[in-house]
Amino acid sequence: MMNKKLMALAVAGALAAPAAAFAQASNVQLYGRANLGLDQYKATGSTSGTGDLKSRTRVFDSGSRLGVRGTEDLGGGLKAVFQLESGVNFDTGSGNGQAGTANASTGTLASRDSYVGLAGSWGQVSFGRQSIYWVDGVINQTGANYVNTDIPWFNGTGMGRVSTGSPGAPVARQSNVVQYNSPTVGGFNATLSYQPNSESAAAGANTDASIWGATFRYNGPINIQYDHVETQAASGGTLRQKNTGNKLGFSWSYQPGARVSLKWAQTKMNDVGLVTGFSAAGDDIKQSMWGIGWEHMFGNVQLMAQWSKLQKASGCSGTGCDDTDATAYMVGVKYHFSKRTGVYATINQTNNNKNQIADYTAAGMSSGTVSAGADPRIIAVGLHHSF
């Protein structure tokens, strides 16, 4: 414990913290996670027959991170809070994912959830790079906290052809966010988020793009979470795309270390642009998913599984929405040496219909751009250590 405190002080000094900050050293924590292993990735069976991503063996990094967080008591029930969390790729030492392309959640300071704020009995207000919509808490921890990855659309964001973000990128960890977290009363609490999304608008361009998000939770004998997000593009163009996402999750912890979860989500994209083989300009498209997850501890052994169905999209002009459905599953086993260290093995398989392009994009887990109809698969063994 003393070493952790000394390391936290060293990091604070390296970040040029004022001398007064050392007075709150006992409230500063250095933490992190390393999650690496060996896997085999492929995405074969594309509609064209020429767009397959052939099988390849990879040393992967999934969501490794280093962070510093802390609080300062300001008196009267008020406190200052901060977190500075950065994604690190132990496998490459760069900011790139498995395909060699940039992963926005790694490579720089504050690339993951990072903020400063004030908190009290009324809740917490914070400013910085923060998560909107996609985080499921205890309802779905498989890909976020246990192993390498899970079903691509299980958190309700990217459904391959259809996405909560604009243009085409899922709403997840967003920059320049102001967020309010309410206190928990009777098991209920809420998070409200706003991102003014035109900070880098060019001269003369309209500046009314935005993202709004709301999450409502109940934690008790069962866990319930509802999320809503709206992404509005800036006005002024021929089309002004607006995407909305809604998802609902339930989970039941039927004994310590064991949980069953149910998920539903629907994403709508209004006034989308032209996408060859899919949408015409101005189409209003929606797509839904549902799925089930399970986890269970047997002593030091944790078993986990997921299955989900992605329904066919609707609203395309012509036949563009045909054959856009998919199914996916994951199974995994993890052996916990301790509360902080475990080894695991997983199989993740997505079966896309001939006009779907769903892939494992979280943590940069894909090795390329999946062609329509190709079925991505990852077989992995990994080591997960938290500190």
How far apart are the C-alpha atoms of 194 and 213, rounded to whole Å? 6
- What does the pLDDT read at residue 3? 52
Cβ neighbours of 200 (radius 10 Å): 8
Query: What's the domain range around 207?
Result: 2-386
CATH of the domain at 175: 2.40.160.10
- What does the pLDDT read at residue 23? 46
How far apart are the C-alpha atoms of 215 and 140, rounded to whole Å? 15
Strands 242-255 and 222-232: antiparallel
- What does the pLDDT read at residue 13? 52
The helix or strand, by DSSP H or E, that contains position 267, with its residue range, turns out to be strand 258-270
Structure token digits, residue 63 = 């969501």
- What does the pLDDT read at residue 168? 54
Q: Which residue has the tokens 């933490």?
A: 31
Question: What stretches of 311-369 adopt beta strand conformation (E)?
Answer: 326-336, 341-352
How far apart are the C-alpha atoms of 211 and 193, rounded to whole Å? 8
The helix or strand, by DSSP H or E, that contains position 196, with its residue range, turns out to be strand 188-196
- DSSP output for 207-219: ---EEEEEEEEEE
Enter the pTM of the model: 0.91
- What does the pLDDT read at residue 165? 80
155 SS3 class: coil
Low-confidence spans in the chain with pLDDT less than 70: 1-26, 166-168
Number of domains in the chain: 1
pLDDT (tens digit, 9 = 90+) per residue, 332-344? 999 999 999 999 9
Burial 90-127 (b: 16+ CB within 10 A, else e): ebbeebbbbbeeebbbbbeebbbbbbebebeeebbbbe
Tell me if 373 sits within 8 A of 356, measured CB to CB.
yes
Tell me if 346 sits within 8 A of 379, measured CB to CB.
yes
